[in-house]
Amino acid sequence: MKLELTEHLKQTVDALTERYSDKLIEVYQSSGDTFVRVEADANVEICTFLKDELHFDYLTDIFGIDRYTSDERFEVAYNLVSLKHGDRIFLKVRCEEEDPELDSASGVWPAANWAEREVYDMFGIRFRNHPDLRRIYMPEDFQYFPLRKEFPLLGIPGSIELPNTTPDSE
Amino acid sequence: MKLTDIQSKVHSTFFKEHQKKLYQSLEDKHTTIEEMDDGDPLKTKMILNMGPQHPATHGVLRLVLQLDGEMIEKTKLDIGYLHRGVEKIAENKTYQEFMPYTDRMDYLSPYSNNVALCLAVEKIANVEVPERAQYIRMIGCELARISSHLLWLGTMVMDAGAISFFIWTFKEREKIYDIMDRLAGHRFTVSHSRIGGVANDITDEAMGAIREFVETFPKELKDYHKLLDRNRIFIDRNEAVGVLKTEDAIGIGATGPVLRGSGYAMDMRKFSPYLRYDQVEFDIPTRLEGDNLARYFVRMEEMSESIRIIQQCIEKLPKGPVRTDNAKQAYPSKDEVYYSMEGMIHDFMMTDTGICPPDGAEAYSAVESPKGELGYYIQSDGTGHPWRLKITGPSFANLQVLENILDGEMVADTVVIIGGMDPVLGEADK
């Protein structure tokens, strides 16, 4: 597929291809947005490179996607903005279903702290070296990961402790 | 304060593990300066749980503050009390069915949320939107911005100690509610936008009300300025409080008026123009101080910019249809539904299956909601339901900022700083 890139994005893709040719898996566009998928073990290294060398200094969000496939089930996307050049790029990494783990980008952008907590809370992907990896929406006592596809829409009865409906009962 | 000290005092009934970890993380925050701690012989240290039902936290936000006397040493935020799982719900609904849920995300500016979802779906499914609908949406969005900022103004000034101000801003908000009532048929949760356009055309009555509001509101705004800009108490409460530097703001992902109050003119309306924002003239108000007063000035100026945009929209408002005339992409008009067989079938199909973007397509579309960048990421699997719909809410980003700027402030200033951040927990908690 032919890519339609702005000058800075073209420069970004070229720099990534040149420097991380073994880590870069694919570059594609969909509905005008540019996505770059890289190897999971190089995510922080490439994040640092994008921030320091290519001015992607603003992290809007990090979110997870459950692909629901048998290999490399989970995908984590970094929504990066270059304020200087006015460009947006999505960096994606994939991880396995069993014990998914990634390196934390919170050392690169402090904004990653809560965003990664959200990914952990919703998908159960753990982030190594995260300063404060707790659940963010669900209580810590909750055992499931709600945005995984196998979690039912109605929830799991009894999974959240609730107050008694009658005041006297224990 | 040590975790064991806290636990001996706090006996939580529910989610014991959760509370334990929260206090643990509070203890762990800035552990480097903790080494100086020598047991607190004067007993000036305490842990204060503020919220989730505290009236000044603007919703169900819980702050766990470690205090040394009146000074906040460190803060942890506990959010999620309003978590309804809208992203999970979205995966089980058609795009149009999901619209009313977006109203209830940032319930102070429902119109922007509707437009944000519509723009994302239109981007992923290649829907053309008629010119008139674009301008109607812009008018709606800017009215929503004024409405949201008015609520922020009222509550924030009330937090700083002036009660009657709240009533005056609500008088103006009431007018916007009346306009929304005439424009969309609902006062609060409007759901007026539709994929491919808007639900109905702007009526003469609604137009009259908007014109009247645009005439009268700048005068009210001037009165607000007169009352607050040089008000000693208001300035003392807000100046040099909750300071956020530009580089910190960018690093920590601040958005909207918080980022602009810290000196960076980032606005989605200029960064990646949507609707017809590239055809109207407006400025992005920016301040360099980064304190609460700067955020106040930014939001106040944004309101007058919004009025400017609405005026231009009214002038430019072209004639024509308000929804795309493609039955595969948008609901047919009610005339067609009631009087033709095909219209009926199309209406049924839109409700049952909805619009189906191509398989594997992904799109991210962001708008500048009153609180900042509100983005919708959609991944489609070719059916009428999104495979993944991720909402990037500005309140979430700004609450993370709050956790970092409260350290070192006075406990009495927390309410003002929260007010200046203007978070909406419905959006932050999803």
Residues of A in contact with B17 (CB under 8 A): 139-141
Q: In A, which residues are within 8 Å of B87 by CB distance? A: 122, 147
Residue A65 located in a structural domain: yes
- pLDDT tens by residue, A97-130: 888 889 998 889 999 999 999 999 999 999 988 8
Longest dimension (CA), chain B: 83
In a domain, A141, yes or no: no
Which CATH number is A101's domain given? 3.30.460.80
Residue A79: what pLDDT? 92
Q: Which two tokens stand for residue B129?
A: 């939107």
Cα B109 to Cα B100: distance, rounded to the nearest angstrom: 13
Measured in whole angstroms, the distance separating CA A6 from the mean position of its chain's CA atoms is: 24
Taking the CA atoms of residue B10, residue B16, residue B17 and residue B21 in that order, the dihedral angle to the nearest 10 degrees is -20
Beta pairing class for A87-95 and A33-38 = parallel
Report d(CA B175, CA B173) in Å as an integer. 5
Residue in A closest to B365 by C-alpha: A33
How many domains does chain A fold into?
1
Does a structural domain hold residue A140?
no
CB B421 within 8 A of CB B56: no
Supply the pLDDT for residue B40.
Answer: 66
Within a domain: residue A148? no
Among A109, A139, A146, select the one facing B18 at the smallest CB separation.
Answer: A139
- State the smallest CA–CA distance between residue B364 and chain A in angstroms: 7
* Boundaries of domain holding A89: 7-128
Residue A138 lies in a domain: no
Cβ-contact B210, B310 below 8 angstroms: yes
- Mark yes or no for CB contact A134/B364 under 8 Å: no
Note whether residue A122 is domain-resident. Answer: yes
For residue A80, is it within any domain?
A: yes
The amino acid that residue B255 corresponds to is: T
Give the separation between CA B314 and CA B139, rounded to whole angstroms: 8
Domain boundaries, chain B: 88-428
Cβ–Cβ of A141/B15 closer than 8 Å?
yes
Read off the tokens for A145. 């990961």
Say yes or no to pLDDT of A17 above 90: no
Predicted TM-score (pTM) of the model is 0.89
Omega before residue A157 within 30° of 0, cis: no
Exposure of B31 by Cβ count < 10 A (0-12 exposed, 13-18 middle, 19+ buried)? exposed
B364 beta partners:
B377
- The alpha carbon of residue A146 is apart from the nearest alpha carbon of chain B, in Å, by 8
Six-digit token pair at A29?
Answer: 């566009």
Contact status of B253 with chain A (Cβ, < 8 Å): yes
Per-residue pLDDT of chain B (430 residues; tens, 9 = 90+): 667 777 777 777 778 888 888 888 888 777 655 555 566 667 777 888 887 877 777 778 888 888 888 888 889 898 888 898 899 999 999 998 899 999 988 888 899 999 999 999 999 998 989 999 999 999 999 999 999 999 999 988 888 888 888 899 999 999 999 999 998 888 888 888 888 889 888 889 999 999 999 999 999 999 999 988 888 888 988 888 889 999 889 999 899 999 999 988 889 898 888 888 999 999 999 999 889 999 999 999 999 999 999 999 999 899 988 888 887 888 888 888 888 898 898 888 888 888 888 898 999 999 999 999 999 999 999 888 999 999 998 999 999 998 889 888 888 888 888 888 888 888 888 8
Give me the residue from B29, B88, B404 closest to A146, CB to CB: B88
Q: Which amino acid is at A26?
A: E
A87 domain-assigned: yes
| CATH class assigned to B88-428 | mainly alpha
DSSP A74-118: EEEEEEEEETTTTEEEEEEEEE-SSS-EEE--TTT-TTHHHHHHH
CB-closest option in B252, B366, B390 to A111: B252
Q: What is the ipTM of this complex?
A: 0.91
